[in-house]
Structure 1
């Protein structure tokens, strides 16, 4: 080759990618028909399959000569960049291409169409976001007619649009004006309802008190009789202890207990 031509060719020529070894794996030849249709790709641009040893996609090398056999490219079992990678025993394994490309492609398309048919075509619409209420709408239940009028007057003094002549009002001004008119129109009826509710609540409390008194009056006699009987029993038990030999201090304590029980019997008997 002339020297001038060598100086012009400064880049390497593109070469066919092939495995530069005659090594063959000790494993049995792998028939492509024994794999599932989605575990191999027979298109000429990306001829590959899933290695049964490490379950990774590995290219299939087919030499240009007719005497050479197809086999898997040597590869590692770990992902790229792993320290101390190990070679997969499935490298250089012979591959038997016993599947028709057209038939394989037809089966793959049928499987994809069947899967698409099982998918739902229902459209999931986004939920509608509720519009946030205005400040005047939030404060409306808490205001009366006077408070609504003060709020409207304060807004007119600070709003540049509402200050203009000709009764021009902004959106908030219109809302406050309507709120004041509504409160002024409905305030008497609202006060009447609130007054009625207060009266009903008061009557309910009074009714509960009367009901409690009636219930207590129906059982007061039996309760009083049971209290008197219980005090009589305690007084008799105390009087039985009086005849035994007691010290001066024990006798004094016993007399005070008898006096207290007698006073209680007298109070319950009234």
Structure 2
């Protein structure tokens, strides 16, 4: 396999111009990626040419026309041997170019740099561990059904699930009196008793009465009397 020779500057001649700084050029007019051949678009002829050298960088000598082999006259480009200075942050430039290349790709060829997966929902707790809001009869039936099917619980000792069902049945049993009392408070008969205790018909009669109010009497909810006629002040 032939060895690739590095680009060496074979002449000390320059075009006697001020050194060309990459910071003054468009980012897409040069290539200084690490590991690749440095190249630049010549400012004079706008053709891509190689940047020669390691420490002293120059644009390779070239012609204005690429058809010298066809008989045209060899006319050197004024941009030949132009000194080049890399005064940019190569890493930031490379990151920006990679982003532009990725954005310019067709949508069907794009791939996310990182795959994001939708998190799976947490599994629901087993029915044996749910006791909030479970009626007493439901807890009792679940416990008895487990005792009939479980072989381990038939020996006189509960298994893991049987112990949880038994614990839930005990909790629901202790909470049942408070639930019954709460249901009684919401029944129509209980509401009627509460209404009678608070005055019942007396409160309803007072709400339905419409008494005439005197002209100078003002309701305590409206505040002081406010004049309704316009106030005429003589100048």
Q: TM-score, normalised by structure 2?
A: 0.42
Structure with bigger RCO (C-alpha 8 Å, 6+ apart): 2
Q: TM-score, normalised by structure 1?
A: 0.38
More helix by share: 1
Q: Which has the larger radius of gyration?
A: 1
